[in-house]
Amino acid sequence: MTTTAATNTATSATSTAAKKQTVDYEAFLKLLTAQLRNQDPLSPMDATQFMTQLAQLSTVEQGVQTNQTLGQVLDTLKNSGMRLDMAYLGRKVEAASDRISLSEGKAEMAYAIDGAAASVKIEVLNDAGQVIHSAAGSPKTGRQTFTWDGRRSDGATAADGAYLVRVTAKDKAGKALTAATVTTDTVKEVRSVNGETQFVLKGGATVKGTDILSAS
């Protein structure tokens, strides 16, 4: 669902709820007025009962006003959040991602292994899940850099775009270790999908706001 559709749906739901509560409020007021108009003069409504019904009327009115105010606050927060996200446009960001962007024969990303690795293998895959490039990575601890010139294993040159990177690391016992990958690219577009902000990078990769580690 697009941002506009989601917003319209939420607005419609809020409007419908507010309308229903307003109708209930008006119905309550009419009922109370009719009750007062048609009461028996020889046996008027008990004062305590009348005050109780007035208190209920006030509660209904406050509930309607509170819901309307909350709706306005939520709309304001959504708009403010989107404006903050738009500030990333054109900025270079570092984001947790397993996608690498190839542009004019240059691609680079960082990775780090959780633990003491004995071997590290880095593979680049196309959209079909086929490995088109493979290289040995550094088993050192801390942040390491992987660079790719776009050369495929078959000698051909890969087209510019975003590619999946798979880092496989093992310790001396052959146990698999966790690897974290970080890509650096420029934010080209900001989208809102189902209430979640997504950032489209210049190289074609898409990351979430929670994936962004830094911006410059």
pLDDT confidence tier of residue 9, bands split at 50, 70 and 90: very low
pLDDT confidence tier of residue 172, bands split at 50, 70 and 90: very high
Name the average pLDDT for the chain.
78
Higher pLDDT, 147 or 50: 147
Percent of the residues in the chain that have a pLDDT greater than 70, as a whole number: 62
pLDDT of 68 > 90? The answer is no
- What backbone phi and psi angles, to 5 degrees, belong to 136? -85, 135
pLDDT confidence tier of residue 46, bands split at 50, 70 and 90: low
pLDDT confidence tier of residue 149, bands split at 50, 70 and 90: very high
Q: Which of 70, 69, 59, 66 is nearest to 25 (CA)?
A: 59
pLDDT confidence tier of residue 58, bands split at 50, 70 and 90: low
pLDDT of 118 > 70? The answer is yes
Average pLDDT over residues 25-31: 67
pLDDT confidence tier of residue 54, bands split at 50, 70 and 90: low
Q: Which of 91, 88, 47, 75 is nearest to 191 (CA)?
A: 88
Percent of the residues in the chain that have a pLDDT greater than 90, as a whole number: 38
> Alpha-carbon distance 7 to 149, whole Å?
44
Span of 3-12, 97-106, 115-124, 167-176 with lowest mean pLDDT: 3-12
So what's the architecture of 92-215 in CATH? Sandwich (2.60)
Between helix 47-86 and helix 3-37 the angle, nearest 10°, is 170
- Give domain limits for the chain: 3-86, 92-215
Average pLDDT over residues 175-193: 90
Retrieve residue 152's tokens: 């495929």
- What backbone phi and psi angles, to 5 degrees, belong to 141? -80, 160
pLDDT confidence tier of residue 212, bands split at 50, 70 and 90: confident
Instruction: Please give the pLDDT value at position 122.
Output: 97
Give how far Cα 190 sits from Cα of 3, 59, 87, 160, Å.
11, 42, 9, 21
Report the half-sphere exposure of 81 (CA within 13 A, side-chain side): 14
**What 8-state DSSP symbol labels residue 20?**
H
Higher pLDDT, 128 or 196: 128
Q: How many CB atoms lie within 10 A of CB 176?
A: 11
Give how far Cα 100 sits from Cα of 152, 155, 203, Å.
14, 19, 8
Give the position of tokens 């016992």.
Answer: 173
pLDDT of 164 > 70? The answer is yes
* DSSP conformation letters of 130-198: -EEEEEEPP--SS-EEEEE-SB-TTSPBPPSEEEEEEEEEE-TT--EEEEEEEEEEEEEEEEEETTEEE
pLDDT of 203 > 90? The answer is no
- Sign of the Cα torsion 67, 72, 75, 76 reads negative
